[in-house]
Structure 1
């Protein structure tokens, strides 16, 4: 079975805002609409943070409870997540039970197997532009209790928090590629006479 290769896979329930996020951070133009399963095939987008900082994100169609057993779009797209080095798990902040939404996706990744549950995961509370400051804090605390760490707060629509999320993703991409970040006091070494091939 052909599987996409991406540095980062976007995971989440239908309508978690994955396609909107992909469109906001790359030149990809996935279909975006206000109903579940708008995305019927994976979309790839290239994120350019700078000329030397570039990685590929895969927008995986939304998973639902039972996907690992074939429900919804089922296992057809869980296979694509296998090839993603790490995951960004987007949770829709406008829904009532953010902890339950997180648990559903984690359960499906674990049930599918193939090492999906062991992939590094960056958890982000999405659609915060639609939340009051009090609701943001309440939902973030509920999500933190479910995943064991503070989620990043983002909005693919307004752009709030997107840069921080991409920076966290880039750090993870570098780690999985075996690259290490330069020390802050490290300065590039000049080649005498300039660089030549």
Structure 2
């Protein structure tokens, strides 16, 4: 089966939350803040693959989500979310389904287009220390994810064209070949 147009939904990863924690040790009664930052959410990337010929893979699974960033724990930064790479055939055009805008034209092998950026990780309470506020008891939440509805269209280029007058035998020629 050959498929040259499909509508899919993609969502990037949410950023991880920052941590609000404090340095604790046996002989350090009031350690300062040491909250770490949350991880960045994963991006959704479309990659032009010369080995793909059709968009049939997107007919069965239509919703794709990148990995969320992990929240920070104590003074350890959260892990970044994995980027999601979707392989599409060379010649695929990517449109925003709601507005109809052309987002990317993947016309050469290996071209990459980031269609959804992952959310930024939140800052821990260590970032909010100042001379006035020495013990902040809060941290920033991670940035939300982006979601898009995309229309993928595959441009097909013919290797051979056949032009002729009506009843000139074009179909007979193709049947003989």
The two structures have a TM-score, normalised by structure 1, of 0.19
Question: Which structure dedicates a bigger proportion of its chain to helix?
Answer: 1
Q: Which has the higher contact order (CA 8 A, sep 6+)?
A: 2
Higher strand share: 2
